[in-house]
Amino acid sequence: MALAPGTPAPDFPVVQRHDAPTLHKLAEHGPVVVYFYPRDNTPGCTREAQDFRDLYPQFQELHAEIVGISVQSMKSHEKFATQHDLPFPLVSDELRSIAKHYEALGPLSSAARVTYLIGKDGKVARAWPSVKVKGHAQEVLDAVKAV
């Protein structure tokens, strides 16, 4: 299950990001790609992060932000982001509150592989409740172009 398009996107509570702590207000940004992933440094999660990284300049041209979220620690995220030269923030959701609000909590209490595109109005514009990594970042970029 995933949040339906048109649903107001829950703001993140005070969270930790690998690059700086912040209160993330989605209504102040947009479009924003919020992608949940199970674990740092696993084959699928690494490929997904690298694909978003490689397309990041094109997302920036469209004034779109990317935020990756998993339930791992900030230390793990810092290492993962540095190792793969990720230009976008990774959010640590160790309490699993963000994943719960976004209906993105997976098996074994890890984050499921779910992506949301949040529009400039702060509402879910598109949801991918069951992500296949190959080609996903390009599919999301194409959706951002249409928003």
pLDDT tens per residue across span 43-94: 999 999 999 999 999 999 999 999 999 999 989 999 999 999 999 989 889 9
1 flagged as catalytic: no
pLDDT of residue 24: 55
Q: At what angle do helices 136-146 and 43-61 cross, to 10 degrees?
A: 30
**Buried b / exposed e across 9-28, counting CB within 10 Å, b at 16+?**
bbebeebbbbeeeeebebee
pLDDT of residue 2: 84
* Cα 18 from Cα 7, distance rounded (Å): 28
**Which listed residue (34, 45, 114, 137) is catalytic?**
45
Give the start-end residues of each E strand in 65-142.
Answer: 65-70, 90-92, 114-118, 124-128
Could you tell me which CATH number the domain at 28-146 has?
3.40.30.10
The residue ranges of every structural domain in the chain are: 28-146
pLDDT digits 0-9 by tens, 87-108 = 998 988 999 999 999 999 988 8
Residue 29 has pLDDT above 70, yes or no: no
pLDDT of residue 14: 47
pLDDT digits 0-9 by tens, 103-126 = 999 888 899 999 999 998 889 999
DSSP state of 40: T
Give the start-end residues of each E strand in the chain.
Answer: 14-17, 22-23, 32-36, 65-70, 90-92, 114-118, 124-128
